[in-house]
Amino acid sequence: MIWVDTILQGILLGGLYALFAAGLSLVFGIMRLVNLAHGDLIVMGAYLILLLVTLLGLSPFLAALIAMPVMFLLGWALQKFLLNRTLGDDILPPLLVTFGLSIALQNALLETFSADSQRLPTDALTTASLQMGPISLGVMPLLTFASAVAVILGLNQLFYRTELGRAFRATSDDPVTAGLMGIKPANIFATATGIALVIVTIAALYLGLRANFDPNIGPARLIYAFEAVIIGGLGSLWGTLAGGIIIGVAQTLGAAINPEWQILSGHIAFLLVLLVRPRGLFPRAHD
Amino acid sequence: MPLLTTRNLVARYGDFQALFGVDIDLGEAETIAIIGANGAGKTTLMRSIAGVLRNQADAVRFDGAEIGALPADEIMALGVAMVPEGRKLFPSLSVEENLLIGTYGRKQSGHWTLETVCDLFPILRERRHNPGTALSGGQQQMVAIGRALMSNPRVLLCDEISLGLAPVVIKDIYKAVPAIKAAGASIIVVEQDIAQALAVADRVYCMMEGRVTLSGTPDSLSREAIHNAYFGAHQ
């Protein structure tokens, strides 16, 4: 029974990793841009929520709701005025610029909020758990997982049911011909990064409620996000959820055997999947 | 006054000059054809009008406004739609989605809707849920034309719509032209097939090496004159 419990905890943890990864997957899928500052943007989102909680005395959930439009605008502007300039045939400039952005963000956060670790205040609900027979599941991990599923469902609806989604896919296929349809690729890219930062805010909320954070933990979140995206297959949103779950389960299983193995077993699971399926579990037909 | 004009239109790709001062006129409800050999600058001319290539503002005028320096999406929104060479369907989109994306930048109510485009090319109704790229070449061309029509454009630019298609399929596609004209669009077709161009157009421009070498109504142009303008023999 302990194994069932461990695996269930792992699946729920996978929801958090899927949230880390969904924004990365979205941006890569539309504009082939790998954002190395993604983890630091999550940490920045957590500090923004914390700031709203402390200054306005809001609950973290309400604070995240307010942070979302702010982060959307930030992402929109970041893409429109900085990252769009790096896109082109050469894949190196976006990597270099987002790497630099990652370092700048870490230092700015360090300067503003100090190196002390913080966490978002939890209340009775967020620390409660549901007893299901012999298994007890935390409300918080369940909520995290449900949010991850909702985010990915929502993104799929957006992609395949709306005009904006059609424009996303068309621009991803061929930006020049998209222009002939009246689409401005620069604005489509900016909107995509804006949406990615809304998802980042949701990820930041659960990161901050679940554990401590400080300005330096961004790169490790980026690694988990990367692994989830690559296990799932680049650009596949449901694959990203599957990837998050695989890492989550591997980590909790590893930790159940020996707590020191938690992080390592996640990475090993990633390498094993890469060995068997180099293009991930659900690769796109054409790239 | 013509609906669309180019005056002294010049285009270059880096050091290579593709157009040397091209002047053409397209009247309201008129269909013109641009003919010429490979490399004459026909596609460059289309791309310049559509805004894929940017020019001097006054090099292209549409409905009295200078549009030469506008980007493609803004020109499309004004009502100049293009069927690009090579069809360029979006592989991630179904046939129906490819048609719908044609209205993205211009929601102009008019004759053309998903229904009327499918009436024009009935095969598209059958294949509406297939990926655009799963269709035959001729069907893909129909999608590309339908996609451009969905915005109810005032000017339709058709770049090499018969390229790589069987003669019987080309006939099918050109059968749609009267309906497109009847719905109120002025048309510029770029065509390598001279007979087809002469049959469909009110006026013809012949291009060679980036310049217009001959123009006129189809009856006024002798085969010999076209031959000379096309291949650059002595005039």
Partners of residue B71 in chain A, C-beta under 8 Å:
179, 184
Phi and psi based region of residue B179 (left: phi greater than 0; alpha: psi -120 to 50; beta: remaining): alpha
Max Cα distance, chain B (Å): 54
CB–CB contact B73 A183 (8 Å): yes
State how far the Cα of A6 lies from the Cα of B193, in Å rounded to an integer: 71
Best mutation target, A172, A174, A181, A236, to test chain B (most B CBs within 10 A): A181
Could you tell me if residue A245 is inside a domain? yes
Please say whether the beta carbons of B181 and B159 come within 8 A: no
- The average pLDDT across A247-272 equals 95
- Tally Cβ neighbours within 10 Å of residue A256: 18
Is residue B118 over pLDDT 80?
A: yes
Q: Write phi, then psi, for A103 (nearest 5 degrees).
A: -65, -40
Our count of domains for chain B comes to: 1
The larger pLDDT score, comparing residue A284 to residue A134, is at A134
Instruction: Give pLDDT, residue A148.
Output: 98
Is residue A286 over pLDDT 60?
A: no
Could you tell me if residue A285 is inside a domain? no
SS (H, E, C) chain B: CCCEEEEEEEEEECCEEEEEEEEEEECCCCEEEEEECCCCCHHHHHHHHHCCCCCCHHHEEECCEECCCCCHHHHHHHCEEEECCCCCCCCCCEHHHHHHHCCCCCCCCCCCCHHHHHHHCCHHHHCCCCEHHHCCHHHHHHHHHHHHHCCCCCEEEEECCCCCCCHHHHHHHHCCHHHHHHCCCEEEEEECCHHHHHHHCCEEEEEECCEEEEEECHHHCCHHHHHHHHHCCCC
A159 SS3 class:
helix
- Tally Cβ neighbours within 10 Å of residue B3: 19
Instruction: Give pLDDT, residue B227.
Output: 85
Rounded (5°) CA angle B196-B200-B206: 70
Partners of residue B145 in chain A, C-beta under 8 Å:
none
Is residue A130 over pLDDT 80?
A: yes
Please say whether the beta carbons of A203 and A145 come within 8 A: no
Q: Which helix or strand (DSSP H or E) is residue A130 part of?
A: strand A129-132
- The average pLDDT across A202-216 equals 96
Instruction: Give pLDDT, residue B143.
Output: 97
A121 SS3 class:
coil
Could you tell me if residue A103 is inside a domain? yes
Give me the helices (H) in chain A, please: 2-31, 38-56, 60-81, 92-113, 124-127, 139-161, 163-173, 175-180, 185-210, 218-232, 237-257, 262-276
- The average pLDDT across A161-182 equals 96
Cα A262 to Cα A208, A249, A250, A257, A274, distances in angstroms: 20, 10, 8, 9, 19
Nearest CA among A225, A277, A183, A285 for reference residue A19: A225
Confidence band, pLDDT 50/70/90 cuts, at residue B233: low
State how far the Cα of B138 lies from the Cα of B130, in Å rounded to an integer: 15
A103 touches chain B (CB under 8 A): no
Could you tell me if residue A104 is inside a domain? yes
Residue B61's CATH number: 3.40.50.300
Q: Give the single-character DSSP code of A83.
A: G
Is residue A285 over pLDDT 80?
A: no
Between the two ends of chain B, the Cα-to-Cα distance in Å is: 31
Partners of residue A183 in chain B, C-beta under 8 Å:
73, 101, 104-105
- The average pLDDT across B178-206 equals 93
Nearest CA among B151, B150, A19 for reference residue B142: B150
Report B:161-200 residues touching A (Cβ under 8 A): none
The helix-helix angle for A262-276 and A218-232 (nearest 10°) equals 30
pTM of the model: 0.92
Please say whether the beta carbons of A84 and A190 come within 8 A: yes
Domain hosting residue A24, numbered range = 2-115+137-276
Q: Write phi, then psi, for A283 (nearest 5 degrees).
A: -70, 150
Please say whether the beta carbons of A151 and A22 come within 8 A: yes
Nearest residue on chain A to B84, alpha-carbon basis: A177
Nearest CA among A262, A266, A216 for reference residue A17: A266
CB–CB contact B73 A286 (8 Å): no
Could you tell me if residue A281 is inside a domain? no
Could you tell me if residue A13 is inside a domain? yes
Partners of residue B93 in chain A, C-beta under 8 Å:
166, 169-170, 173
- The average pLDDT across B12-25 equals 92
Our count of domains for chain A comes to: 1
Domain hosting residue B181, numbered range = 4-231
Q: Give the single-character DSSP code of A47.
A: H
pLDDT tens string A84-116: 999 988 989 999 999 999 999 999 999 999 999
Q: Which helix or strand (DSSP H or E) is residue A138 part of?
A: strand A135-138
A170 touches chain B (CB under 8 A): yes
Residue A66's CATH number: 1.10.3470
Instruction: Give pLDDT, residue A235.
Output: 76
Is residue B222 over pLDDT 90?
A: no
Partners of residue B105 in chain A, C-beta under 8 Å:
181-183
CB–CB contact A182 B105 (8 Å): yes
Q: Write phi, then psi, for A102 (nearest 5 degrees).
A: -60, -45
Is residue B235 over pLDDT 50?
A: no
- The average pLDDT across B90-110 equals 95
State how far the Cα of B56 lies from the Cα of B69, in Å rounded to an integer: 6
Using CA atoms in the order A96, A98, A100, A105, what is the torsion angle rounded to 10 degrees? -170
State how far the Cα of A170 lies from the Cα of B117, in Å rounded to an integer: 20
- The average pLDDT across B181-204 equals 93
Nearest CA among A254, A224, A266, A256 for reference residue A23: A224
Q: Which residues pair with B76 in a beta bridge?
A: none
A167 touches chain B (CB under 8 A): yes
Confidence band, pLDDT 50/70/90 cuts, at residue A231: very high
**Stretch among B41-55, B141-155, B216-230 having the lowest mean pLDDT:** B216-230
Question: Both tokens of residue A263?
Answer: 């992080």
Q: State the residue for tokens 């930006």.
A: A175
Instruction: Give pLDDT, residue B234.
Output: 54
Could you tell me if residue A237 is inside a domain? yes
Buried b (16+ CB within 10 A) or exposed e, A89-116: eeeeebeebbeebbeebbeebeeebeee
Could you tell me if residue A232 is inside a domain? yes
Nearest CA among B91, B149, B81, B82 for reference residue B120: B149
- The average pLDDT across A131-159 equals 93
- The average pLDDT across A252-263 equals 94
**Close Cβ partners of A270 (under 8 Å, ≥ 6 residues apart):** A227, A230, A231, A246, A247
Is residue A287 over pLDDT 60?
A: no
CB–CB contact B76 A169 (8 Å): no
